[in-house]
Every structure is written in C-alpha cells, then in structure tokens.
Amino acid sequence: MAKIGIFYGSSTGNTELVAEKIREAFGKDKADLLNVDEASVDDVLRYTYLVFGTSTWGVGDMQDDWEDFAEELKEADLKGRKIALFGVGDQDTYPESFADGMGTLYARLKKSGAGFVGEWPVDGYIFDDSNALKGKKFVGLPLDLDNQDDLTDERIKKWVGQLKKIFK
C-alpha cells in the first residue's frame, strides 16, 4: 500500500481529474486515489499522509459527498497524521466564496488532531473573499479549471514538490 492517500469528492469530474494529476505528480506507486463517495473512515486511518480535495457548490458548500464523510471523520482520531487540502472552484463566477469548500473542510477537521500542511499564497488569483484563507494564505491549494486551467499543472507540480519534502 502506498503511504499517501488522496481522497476526493467530485460532482462533475473536475476534482477527480485534479486528484489524478496530483497522484501522478507524487508517482502512482506512492499515492492511492479514493473517492469519498465510496471510502470509509478506516480507509483514511490506513494512511499517515493524506490529501483531501473538494470542489465548492451552492454558495460556499463542500462537494456533497464530503458533507457526510466529514461528519464521519469528526469522530476519528487523526492525531499524528498530516493532511494537505486542495479545493477546486470558480473565482470568476463566485468571487465572494472562492474555494470555500476547502475552508469548510478545514474548519470541520481542524480539531481532529491532524497537522495541516500545504498552505498556498494568494498571488495570481482574482477573488474578493474566501473562507479558505488563514491569515494571508490559503489553507491548501485552490485550483480553478473554469478560468485558470492553464495554471493547473504548474500549480500542482510546485505544490506536490513542497509536499514531497514533508511526506517522507
């Protein structure tokens, strides 16, 4: 089994696509890919290093499958694990709640005992507000396939490069 577990929720396939790219960037033998729609808390507990990804729906909600899964995870003790978050959103149409799903996921899990890694600067994004901000940085990596897809691969490469130094 790989050491890194990538868990994602995706309604129209964008977050799934990003999760696959992130897995490739780590190296396929290093990371497993799991859809939270089918995953269990026990699956999460198999990994020391975790990557959680959600898109944003409604106005600032997590992707649907994450709603249930985050609730289940609330009971779990994730002490000693490291979690990196990524969020997929649309900063142009939803500038007031850009990648909020990622911020909501962070808020739900921040008392789980896990350590959060993979913060990302706001440079290059154009938005008004996001609950995924912690100080001047995002709590994880936001990606926008609707407006900035040309930056996706580059952002993933850099972010995963940073995580490789932590996930070892």
Ligand X SMILES: Cc1cc2nc3c(=O)[nH]c(=O)nc-3n(C[C@H](O)[C@H](O)[C@H](O)COP(=O)(O)O)c2cc1C
**Can you give the binding site for ligand X, defined by CB under 6 A?**
10-15, 55-60, 63, 88-90, 94, 97-100, 145-146
State the Cα–Cα distance between residues 31 and 101, nearest whole angstrom: 23
CB-nearer residue toward ligand X: 42 or 150: 150
State the Cα–Cα distance between residues 1 and 67, nearest whole angstrom: 27
In 14-60, at which residue ranges do the beta strands (DSSP E only) sit? Answer: 31-35, 49-57
As beta bridge partners, residue 113 has none
CB-nearer residue toward ligand X: 76 or 147: 147
End-to-end CA distance of the chain: 15
Q: How far is the CB of 121 from ligand X (least distance, A)?
A: 17
Q: How far is the CB of 18 from ligand X (least distance, A)?
A: 8
CB-nearer residue toward ligand X: 82 or 89: 89
Q: How far is the CB of 13 from ligand X (least distance, A)?
A: 5
CB-nearer residue toward ligand X: 100 or 114: 100
Burial classification of residue 62, based on how many CB atoms lie within 10 Å of its CB (0-12 exposed, 13-18 middle, 19 or more buried): buried
- CA dihedral (74, 163, 135, 137) positive or negative: negative
Q: How far is the CB of 28 from ligand X (least distance, A)?
A: 21
Q: How far is the CB of 112 from ligand X (least distance, A)?
A: 23
CB-nearer residue toward ligand X: 5 or 89: 89
